[in-house]
Copies of this chain bind each other. A is one copy, B any other.
Amino acid sequence: MATSYALMIQPVDGDADRADFADTFASVDPAAPALSVGELSTQRGDGIFESIGVVDGHPQEVDAHLDRLAHSARICDLPAPNLAQWRAAIAAVAAHAPAGESVIKLILSRGIEHGPTPTAWVTLAPAADFTAVRERGIRVVTLDRGYDSTVPARAPWLLLGAKTLSYAVNMAALREAHRRGADDAIFVTTDGFVLEAPTASLVLRRGDRFTTPAPTGGILHGTTQLSMFAYLQECGYETGYEQILTESLASVDAAWLVSSVRLAAPITAIDGTSLPTDAAFTADLNAYLLSPRD
């Protein structure tokens, strides 16, 4: 969906304490040129981002997204974002959201090449209608991510735990999934462990226990997965972070890809093997994920 509102941000120091940031924001026409060709985001995917779900004007899980933005900035040697400034920008943009579901994107770029500061902006766009996908579910395939489970810890320059703008591989993995007749992909390591989807986290169910791959540096800590675990704990279920073997996927009782905008999409098949689904349970879960949460 086309961007409906965009706010450029003049980043202030991470620890600057200000009552108001309005003078650091400038709204721009989202269809008009707003970025110069010297932007390092565009030349090298050199920056970080977050996508925040918005329901009826309420931006969801803002704290978790801001925590992850700060985490990504550390991994990428970017100046620490001023989280109060970003929180104010999110509120300013969310004020323009219509009823229904939208998506707010935060982008922090290393800036103009040879320029003095990062550039930053926040956009608002209508969300695609995922109602049917949340009910009907998705077929996924596993795709080799090319590295083994020991790599993220020993090679931090691969930025595997950061949500960078260098998402060409994530997009290529989705195209490969579509080529194989599936809707989405699950990345796996060369030594047989499950990672994450290109734009979502994976949650598995066995009986009353729900697990997700541990965010040990190789994957992002999913903001929606965090919300889902909070919900499951409220419901009395057990949750846990684990190293999950790829070969164990076929025998789970249910599985979901969860993300900020599509929310919980039940997986109906992995690599052509059908998985059980529970329509009522998933509907309750998505109703929770659509309720206002901070």
Contact = CB atoms under 8 A, between A and B. Distances in A.
Interface of A: 1-3, 6, 28, 30-39, 41-47, 49, 76-77, 105, 107, 109-110, 113-114, 121, 123, 143-148, 151, 154-160, 162, 164-173, 175-176, 190
A90 to B, nearest CB: 16
Contact of A170 (B3, B44, B151): B44
Contact of A155 (B76, B146, B148, B168): B146
A237 B148 CA distance: 40
10 contacts: A2-B114, A35-B36, A41-B45, A43-B165, A143-B155, A145-B155, A146-B147, A147-B190, A159-B168, A159-B172
Nearest to A7: B37
A171 B44 contact: yes
Contacts of A143: 155, 157
A25 B176 CA distance: 33
A16 B121 CA distance: 38
A285 to B, nearest CB: 28
A186 to B, nearest CB: 13
A9 to B, nearest CB: 12
Contacts of A113: 2-3
Contact of A30 (B37, B157, B164, B171): B37
